[in-house]
A and B are shown apart, each in its own frame.
Chain A
Amino acid sequence: NAGVTQTPKFRVLKTGQSMTLLCAQDMNHEYMYWYRQDPGMGLRLIHYSVGEGTTAKGEVPDGYNVSRLKKQNFLLGLESAAPSQTSVYFCASSWTDYYEQYFGPGTRLTVT
């Protein structure tokens, strides 16, 4: 039982490049979330999903897209990376929006 996994763990991109971050959970959770964490700021919600095939915008969705084609996977895409997207990205999953969230180990992304 791996819980929530994220790939990759680290990535360096040049401005304008694209990439996809993968989040996978094996707990059959309906809800999945993508957050970013920046120094001096709390975790901020980028996008979330309340079930397979659904996605919704969070607090800071601009510059990101997501997809949830399978219940266990939640993908975060950056179509044209910008230095402002340098951050640590966390994925999380939960049964519902008010239940305990289980977090992945994080992905450290640097955009130069």
Chain B
Amino acid sequence: KNEVEQSPQNLTAQEGEFITINCSYSVGISALHWLQQHPGGGIVSLFMLSSGKKKHGRLIATINIQEKHSSLHITASHPRDSAVYICAVSSNTGNQFYFGTGTSLTVIP
């Protein structure tokens, strides 16, 4: 049973395209996190959100608590955006974390 499901698993886009990655979860949460893992393996946190929408540069994250769904959007994609994007949730029952398996994004020049 996967508490966090992401789609698509793999995504190839042309430079400049608008990209959407989806995340659905089945547990009650206190927060949802979007992480980025580069080919070198390092993981960085992009967003943490519990409601609404956040924007950072060309990245936008939204969450719909009622539908248990979040999306990560990348506008004007660039080859440097190529990475694995991971959705994760902090359970509201405390100290439980669930991670999606990631979406591998490749942006072609």
Identify the A interface with B (CB < 8 A): 33, 40-45, 48, 50, 56, 58, 88, 90, 92, 97-103, 105-106
A101 and B95 form a contact (CB under 8 A): no
Q: A56–B94 Cα gap in the complex (Å)?
A: 12
Q: A97–B96 Cα gap in the complex (Å)?
A: 8
Closest 4 CB pairs of A and B: A42-B99, A103-B43, A98-B30, A98-B31
Classify the secondary structure of A's interface with B.
Answer: loop
Query: A98 with B90: in contact, given A50-B95, A56-B95 (CB under 8 Å)?
Result: yes
Shortest C-beta distance, B98 to chain A (Å), equals: 8
Classify the secondary structure of B's interface with A.
Answer: strand
Q: A97–B90 Cα gap in the complex (Å)?
A: 7
* B52 close to chain A: CB less than 8 A: no
Q: A48–B95 Cα gap in the complex (Å)?
A: 8
Q: A105–B89 Cα gap in the complex (Å)?
A: 21
Q: A97–B94 Cα gap in the complex (Å)?
A: 7
Contacts of B97 in A (CB 8 A): 33, 45, 58, 97
Contact sample, A vs B, 7 pairs, CB 8 Å cutoff? A42-B99, A42-B102, A43-B88, A90-B43, A97-B90, A98-B31, A106-B41
A41-B101, A98-B31 known; 7 other A-B pairs, CB under 8 Å?
A42-B86, A42-B101, A58-B97, A98-B48, A102-B45, A103-B42, A106-B43
B99 and A105 form a contact (CB under 8 A): no
Shortest C-beta distance, A32 to chain B (Å), equals: 12
Contacts of A33 in B (CB 8 A): 97
Q: Which of B30, B33, B41, B86 contacts A100 (CB 8 A)?
A: B33
* B44 close to chain A: CB less than 8 A: yes
Contacts of B48 in A (CB 8 A): 98-100
A97 and B42 form a contact (CB under 8 A): no
Query: A106 with B42: in contact, given A42-B100, A43-B99, A100-B48 (CB under 8 Å)?
Result: yes
Query: A101 with B42: in contact, given A42-B100, A42-B102 (CB under 8 Å)?
Result: no
* B74 close to chain A: CB less than 8 A: no
